[in-house]
């Protein structure tokens, strides 16, 4: 039986601003690195740069929807993605 493909993404929360209702941070997975802004009152996720964004955007959004109130600025989190990249 073959192992399922997976990639571990490291998420670093740089800023959690409840007054702006935003979380800003960085995601690194494989050779890719993105910055993100999650406006949780609007349900809006912005991921940059666009190169490889499709690889991470959905998994990151699901993670943020599930964990946004548990996240703290300055902390690092791990996310396992069911794909190899």
- Could you report the per-residue pLDDT of 49-61, keeping only the tens digit for each? 999 899 899 999 9
For 48, the token pair is: 């940059």
* For residues 56-70, average pLDDT: 93
- Asked whether the predicted pLDDT for residue 63 surpasses 70, the reply is yes
Beta carbons of 71 and 23 less than 8 angstroms apart: yes
Q: Can you give the pLDDT at residue 61? A: 96
- Could you report the per-residue pLDDT of 9-47, keeping only the tens digit for each? 999 999 999 999 999 999 999 999 999 999 999 999 999
Q: Can you give the pLDDT at residue 16? A: 94
Report the distance separating Cα 63 and Cα 55, nearest Å: 14
Contacts of 27 (CB under 8 A, 6+ apart): 9, 10, 11, 12, 33, 34, 35, 36, 47, 56, 60, 79
- Asked whether the predicted pLDDT for residue 1 surpasses 80, the reply is no
Taking the domains of the chain in order of start, what are their residue ranges? Answer: 7-81
């Amino acid at each position: 039986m073959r192992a399922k493909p997976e990639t571990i993404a490291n998420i670093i929360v740089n800023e959690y601003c409840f007054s702006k209702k935003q979380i800003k941070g960085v995601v690194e997975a494989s050779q890719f690195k993105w910055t993100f802004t999650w406006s949780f009152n609007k349900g809006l996720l912005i991921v940059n740069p666009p190169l490889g964004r499709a690889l991470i955007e959905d998994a990151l959004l699901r993670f943020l929807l599930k964990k946004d109130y548990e996240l703290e600025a300055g902390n690092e989190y791990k996310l396992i993605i069911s794909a190899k990249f």
